[in-house]
Amino acid sequence: MSDTTSMLSSGRQATYVRPNSRWGKQLGKLALAGTLVLFALSLLAVYLMPLGYALVASLRVRNPPADAPIWPMSPATFTWEGREVEIFRVPTADGERELAIIDKGRTASQFVDPQNPAEVIDWQGAWRTLPRVYFWDPQWQNFSEVWRFLDFGRLLFNTIIIALIGTVGTVLSCTAVAYAFARFRLPGKAIFFVLLMGTIILPSEVTLIPTYIIFYQIGWVGTWLPLIVPHFFANAWNVFLLRQFIMGIPRELDEAAMIDGANPLQTLLRIIMPQALPAMVAVALFHFFYAWNDFFLPLIYLAGKPELYTISVAMQTFQVQYGGRPELTMTASLMATVLPFILFFLGQRFFMQGVVVTGVEK
């Protein structure tokens, strides 16, 4: 109190210096960024967890023991007098030792040391309570076994042909229809567009039987044609996606092309399609993944033609035949996801750009 009085009496003014808040703001931004990164990594870990489990399960041995770890490990064994015996971790007076059991008893068992098999050790206790000894043993041959059982090369060729040709047809037809809806002035265009969008809510089960009858009458059942040809006629979802993107392309580009003498087709090929490449890549990936995973249509149209099966249909048959071997089922599932994963990784920049621009900004 005396210090304050002396300061006031001397005529000096006391000032309050605020602490520097710049470091506080930086720490706040850093904490926020770290929280967002941690949250994103957590979501990524949850999303990739099934894929990681499939990879681990695909490398496991056939019929592992009930107490086996989740990792691809095999129980250690030791050859004793011409037979394979198991190795356990056995508590002894000298500490825990890894011993091979040669005579199993309810309350007493006999073990030998794999390093010194001449010494037989009597151990009192229930051997079932002892932990087994495991060693790292990934079964990479599961992949070659599945490739041979499924004839995976043929299935891969069939699925790629169906998905690739259908993707080309979908992109070309949907781009042309979307270009017409976005640029041309047609009588009743709004009504036709509403009708086209209305087909999105039409269940596929409604048209399944009539479509099958038509394809049966023209002799397409048992071939790839019902799985390919319909995609050369535009579908509503992809038309909407491309139309929204094309509407965002300035019309001045079209007018400049018309002044240079370009017709509508040349404008589409030289102006619109290069500008709409992100949306076209998104549509291509959407359809490729759909065709790759489609199970129902190949099942009904290719029934009785195993040489024409796609991966999804063959995997269902494989699961029925080899359901008792989950490691092979997981291996087949993992092999079926490799190509779509690579395609999405390579086209993710265009894919995300096309989805964001057409779905958010427009």
pLDDT in tens, 148-158: 988 999 999 99
Mean pLDDT of 248-265: 89
User: What per-residue confidence (pLDDT) applies to 358?
Assistant: 45
Q: Does 21 have pLDDT greater than 80?
A: no
Report the pLDDT value the prediction gives residue 28, as an integer from 0 to 100: 79
Residue-level pLDDT at 119: 83
Per-residue confidence at 255, pLDDT binned at 50, 70, 90? Answer: confident
Stretch 286-311: mean pLDDT: 92
The proportion of the chain whose per-residue pLDDT surpasses 90, expressed as a percent, equals 35
Structure confidence at residue 4 (pLDDT): 46
| Burial class of residue 101, CB neighbours in 10 A (0-12, 13-18, 19+) | buried
pLDDT band at 225 (very low <50, low <70, confident <90, very high): very high
DSSP 61-128: PSS--TT--SSSEEE-EEEETTEEEEEEEEEETTEEEEEEEEE--SSEEEEEETTEEEEEEEEES-GG
For 303-313, the pLDDT digits (tens) are: 888 899 999 99
Does pLDDT of 356 surpass 80? Answer: no
For residue range 343-352, what is the model confidence (pLDDT) as tens digits? 878 877 666 6
Prediction pTM value: 0.76
Task: Give the mean model confidence (pLDDT) for residues 235-251.
Answer: 90
Residue-wise pLDDT for 168-179, tens only, equals: 999 999 999 999
pLDDT of residue 352: 63
Start-to-end CA distance of the chain, whole Å, equals 67
Residue 166 near residue 293, CB atoms below 8 Å? no
Q: Across residues 285-310, what is the average pLDDT?
A: 92
Residues 6+ apart with CB under 8 A from 149: 318, 322, 328
Candidates 1.10.3720.10, 1.10.540.10, 3.40.50.1970, 1.10.10.60; CATH matching 151-361: 1.10.3720.10
Domain boundaries, the chain: 22-58, 77-131, 151-361
Position 350 scores a pLDDT of 65
Burial class (CB in 10 A: 0-12, 13-18, 19+), 232: middle
Per-residue confidence at 111, pLDDT binned at 50, 70, 90?
very high
Q: What is the pLDDT of residue 53?
A: 85
pLDDT above 80 (res 2):
no
pLDDT at 8 over 80: no
The pLDDT of residue 242 is above 60: yes
pLDDT in tens, 127-140: 988 999 999 999 99
Asked if 332 and 150 count as a contact pair (C-beta separation under 8 A), the reply is yes
pLDDT at 359 over 60: no
Contact 183, 246 (CB under 8 A): yes
pLDDT of residue 10: 47
pLDDT band at 20 (very low <50, low <70, confident <90, very high): low
Q: Which two tokens stand for residue 28?
A: 């706040």
Per-residue pLDDT for 83 more than 60?
yes
Average pLDDT of the chain?
85
pLDDT of residue 19: 52
